Amino acid sequence: MSKLANSIVPDSIPVDHKKQQKIAGISSVLGSTIEWYDFFLYGTMAAIIFPHLFFPDQDPYVATLLTFSTYAIGYIARPLGGILFGHFGDKIGRKVSLIATLIIMGITTVLIGLLPGFDTIGLWAPVLITLFRFIQGVAIGGEWPGSVLISMEWGTKKNRGFMAALPQIGVPLGLILGTAVTSLFIAISGDSFQTWGWRIPFILSLVLVVLGLLIRFNLMETPSFQKVLKEKELPKLPFISVIKDYPKQVVSGVLSNVSSDIAFGVFAFYTTTYGINYLGLDKSIFVNATLVGAVIAVFAISITGYFSDKINPKKILGFGNVLLILWALPFFYLLNTKSTGLIFLAVIIAFIIHSTMWAPLAPVIAASFPAHLRYSGSAITFMFRGLIGGGFAPLISTYLLHTFDSGYAIGVYIITAAVIALFALRFVDLKYHKED
């Protein structure tokens, strides 16, 4: 395998570091945007379309639970994708894995857009939507760590934190793109959105995938991985090596970052369901509020990423969790007023707070592992925190609201996760932050 990696990463080609750094930054942002556009598009349709399309014979509460269960499936698949693409990312290189994840994500998203509903193919509809969601999760499992590493490892010691945070911008950008396209086709198709209008945003993903691939083919392998090829014997099973040699980094990385995914699962996805089903408000209020919040998050993540090079990213992450504890209950108080202006305020502040956790999350996780295991270590940590956190957040929120008939129960859930994260941060070790 090391011979194959060396053939893919020749050391005889002269490298323009600044040019590659720019390409790496653009590639990581664009690739992450495409991947998360696809992923968030599913989350949006899970709230407003899929319960009726794929689970039409169920009680509304049961249909919502089943829909968010398929949403959770995507998160359950992430660790598998992290292990799979982490293996090849540490054995062959970051670039190859990133190209593969982009292709897989794009094809699967188009298939979702072409999938007939329950009325047409019966039980095959929920079975196939679950399968496609699982494959999406596998792709995301390899995309995030690869994007972070290829950007961070082309950075310098002065801007490594900012470079690592760049792929995080792809999350709100993907949400913006997905929400904007959804809003556009709601307006264009009108009542037909329920039948064919919702499909177009999924199919359009193919155009974005082609654009992303064109950029990634021009990107060279990172200096860190080339150094590993020259100086170290590549591990036979990177996943096993990570679990065996770095269990503390994995556990502390998962628990210290789980609150950010829970918060995002609630703020970006479940809020729409809460507003429509519980408050009885029009979905456009929450779709538009989420869109504005995501636009602001792009700038908030960029600023926070910049300061992660000036301040220890652990401190920034801890500060974000403190803010989350303070905002979780007021967030639902403002939603419950049913005032459009206050709902927008609640969502915007929530996105800003989440950004203070989301930007330093990347350097905190990636800097916890040495270069020869960094892809696998980052992938395993990030995906398990996503599984525990965001994957089940809408599902647990649905249960809590149904059981306690109050959004404040969801707020307590968020606060509990943030308290756990603050405790786990004490054990996070960034000893590899300036290794290479």
State pLDDT tens for residues 43-82: 778 767 877 788 776 677 777 777 667 767 877 888 888 8
User: Could you give the percent of the chain with pLDDT greater than 90?
Assistant: 25
**Does residue 9 carry a pLDDT above 80?**
no
Cα–Cα nearest to 274, from 136, 371, 405, 430: 405
Average pLDDT over residues 5-30: 69
Q: Check if the beta carbon of residue 168 is closer than 8 Å to that of residue 297.
A: no
**Does residue 122 carry a pLDDT above 50?**
yes
CA 337 to chain centre: 30
**Does residue 286 carry a pLDDT above 60?**
yes
User: Could you give the percent of the chain with pLDDT greater than 70?
Assistant: 92
Q: Which range, of 5-19, 170-184, 270-284, averages the lowest pLDDT?
A: 5-19
Q: Check if the beta carbon of residue 261 is closer than 8 Å to that of residue 389.
A: yes
| 195-199 CB contacts, 8 Å cutoff, 24+ apart | 198/45, 198/49, 199/113, 199/114
Q: Check if the beta carbon of residue 37 is closer than 8 Å to that of residue 178.
A: yes
Is 77 inside a domain boundary? yes
Is 233 inside a domain boundary? yes
Query: Domain range for residue 267?
Result: 18-425
Cα distances (angstroms) measured from residue 288 to each of 11, 42, 254, 378, 416: 49, 17, 31, 33, 29
CA 288 to chain centre: 20
Q: Which range, of 154-168, 242-256, 263-277, averages the lowest pLDDT?
A: 154-168
**Does residue 335 carry a pLDDT above 80?**
yes
Cα–Cα nearest to 35, from 208, 215, 260: 208
What pLDDT does residue 11 have?
A: 46
d(CA 84, CA 238): 10
Is 165 inside a domain boundary? yes
Average pLDDT over residues 354-375: 87
**Does residue 434 carry a pLDDT above 70?**
no
Average pLDDT, the chain: 84
How many domains does the chain contain in total? 1
CATH number of the domain enclosing 306: 1.20.1250.20
What pLDDT does residue 15 have?
A: 64
Name the packing angle between helices 313-336 and 340-366 (round to 10°): 160
Is 125 inside a domain boundary? yes
Average pLDDT over residues 27-32: 84
Q: Check if the beta carbon of residue 324 is closer than 8 Å to that of residue 353.
A: yes
d(CA 56, CA 209): 32
Neighbouring C-alpha atoms within 13 Å toward the C-beta of 407: 21
Is 8 inside a domain boundary? no
**pTM of the complete model:** 0.79
pLDDT tens-digit map of 223-259: 877 887 777 667 788 889 999 999 999 999 999 989 9
Is 1 inside a domain boundary? no
Here the tokens at position 61 are: 């509460």
What pLDDT does residue 96 have?
A: 84
Is 363 inside a domain boundary? yes
